[in-house]
Structure 1
Amino acid sequence: MIEIKDIHKSFGDNEVLKGISGKFEAGVTNLIIGGSGSGKTTLLKCMIGLHQPEEGSVEYDSREFTTMNFEEKIEIRKEIGMLFQGSALFDSMTVEENIMFPLNMFTEQSRKEKLERVNFCLERVNLEGKNKLFPAELSGGMKKRVGIARAIAMNPKYLFVDEPNSGLDPKTSIVIDELIKELTEEYNTTTIVVTHDMNSVMGIGDYILFLHEGKKFWEGSNKEIAHTDVQELNDFVFASRFMKAAKGKF
């Protein structure tokens, strides 16, 4: 479980996060949603230590992350997998080398052990035998799956996913969503997905934290979201669906 308590973050005079709290349980798909400028990406970066909040705390299974020193944070980061927006694969590396990268950095495994882990991860994301391809030879959906394979290479307790369906067609987006949910449940991972995709929200949103103008406006499940009377959330849901429908016409 990851718990955030009263997170505040500012950049100059701009207060981006205004006291955000929430609990993200293991084995379920946790989503952070909100419009552009709502603070969701900043919150994600505070949770993984790329930003230091001015106030509040981030706890990984009751371990207070924000007050740790550099070496202590490295130990937590070894337990974290991260799928960046756009997959962030190394263009000059093969699929195999990309997935092996965190194993080379954080483990003392033999080459044989690392290759076995790479092949296992490729099998889990249905990309067996694609070891020697380069990112330029992959489709957008395949790149996302390689990104997921790299993210789970270290068998993480915590998985962070930033806009996994950005740039993907609806059919491929569903495949990626279902893969994330399947891996979360199978390995009892604490998974946090930042997204504005309402199909993801309704499809895999076991727990949803909705941000608006740097504040938490609502939390609940995808089964509850349709019945909310929070106007800001209803406006976000309607706008998201309208924009998706409009894109489909052109």
Structure 2
Amino acid sequence: MIEIKDIYKTFGDNDVLKGITANFKPGKNNLIIGGSGSGKTTLLKCIVGLHAPTKGDVIFDGENFTDMDFEQRVPIRKQIGMLFQNSALFDSMTVEDNIIFPLNLFSTMSKSEKLDRANFCLERVNLEGKNKLFPSELSGGMKKRVGIARAISMEPKYLFVDEPNSGLDPQTSIVIDELISELTLEYKITTVMVTHDMNSVMGIGDNILFLYQGKKWWEGSNKEIAHTDNKELNDFVFASKFTQAAREKL
């Protein structure tokens, strides 16, 4: 489990995060949502250590990540998988080499073990046999799946996902959501996803943290969203006809 306690983040005179406390549980799709400027991406970066909180603590399974120095953080970093918004694949590397990249950095596997792991991950995301392709030869959805394969190559306990459906068509977005959800449940991963995609919220939102003006404004499941009287949350989530129709089905 990941706990965040009273997280503040200030850039100059701009108070981006204002005392956020929440728990993200294993085996659950923990979503962070909110409008532009609400602080959701900043919060994700504080959790993974890309930003240092101005105040507050980030705790991974009882260990205070915030208080650790670089060397002390290494064991936890080895347990973290990341899926970036643009997939962040290395264009000069094949699919196989992209997946093996973190294994080269952090594992003591032999070459054959790394290849076996890459093949397993590709099979898990339904991309068997695509080892020797380059990112330029892949569709947007395939790139996302390679990004997921790389993110799970180290068998992470924690998976962080930033806008996984950005730039994808609705059908492919559903495929990506379902894949992330399946992996989260199957491996009991603590998954934390930043998203603005309301299909994701209504489809896989086990636990949802809604940020508004840098504060935690609401927390609950997708089914609880359907019955909330939180005005700001309703304005954000049910702005479209599609999400309003989804709400009426719950």
Structure 2 Cα separation of the partners of residues 242 and 49 of structure 1: 38
Tell me if 1:83 matches 2:83.
yes
> Any idea what the Cα deviations from partners look like across 1:140-181, whole Å, max 9, x if unmatched?
000000000000000000000000000000000000000000
Q: What does residue range 161-180 of structure 1 map to in structure 2 within 5 Å?
A: 161-180=161-180
> Which 5+ residue runs of structure 1 have no aligned equivalent?
246-250
SS in structure 2 of the partner of residue 224 of structure 1: helix
Counterpart amino acid of residue 111 in structure 1: K
SS in structure 1 of the partner of residue 47 of structure 2: helix
Tell me if 1:31 matches 2:28.
no
Q: Could you tell which deviates more after superposition, 226-235 or 121-130? A: 226-235
Tell me if 1:99 matches 2:99.
yes
SS in structure 1 of the partner of residue 193 of structure 2: strand
Deviation at 1:189, TM superposition (A): 0.3
Instruction: Provide the TM-score with structure 1 as the length reference.
Output: 0.96
Corresponding residue number in structure 2 for 1:188: 188
User: Deviation above 2 Å: which 4+ runs of structure 1?
Assistant: 241-245
Identity %: 75
Q: What does residue range 137-176 of structure 1 map to in structure 2 within 5 Å?
A: 137-176=137-176
> Which 5+ residue runs of structure 2 have no aligned equivalent?
245-250
Deviation at 1:74, TM superposition (A): 1.4
Corresponding residue number in structure 1 for 2:248: none
Change (3 A) 1:100 1:76: same
Corresponding residue number in structure 2 for 1:22: 22
Structure 1 Cα separation of the partners of residues 230 and 217 of structure 2: 8
SS in structure 1 of the partner of residue 92 of structure 2: coil
Counterpart amino acid of residue 232 in structure 1: E
> Any idea what the Cα deviations from partners look like across 1:96-151, whole Å, max 9, x if unmatched?
00000000000111100000000000000000000000000000000000000000
Instruction: Provide the TM-score with structure 2 as the length reference.
Output: 0.96
Counterpart amino acid of residue 217 in structure 2: F
Corresponding residue number in structure 1 for 2:211: 211
> Any idea what the Cα deviations from partners look like across 1:54-102, whole Å, max 9, x if unmatched?
1110000011000001101111100000000010000000000000000
What is the aligned-residue RMSD (CA, Å)? 1.2
> Any idea what the Cα deviations from partners look like across 1:6-30, whole Å, max 9, x if unmatched?
0000100000000011000000111
Deviation at 1:243, TM superposition (A): 9.6
Deviation at 1:238, TM superposition (A): 2.6
How many equivalent residue pairs? 244
> Any idea what the Cα deviations from partners look like across 1:15-49, whole Å, max 9, x if unmatched?
00000110000001110000110000000000000
Structure 1 Cα separation of the partners of residues 151 and 6 of structure 2: 28
Corresponding residue number in structure 1 for 2:247: none
Structure 1 Cα separation of the partners of residues 227 and 215 of structure 2: 20
Structure 2 Cα separation of the partners of residues 169 and 222 of structure 1: 22
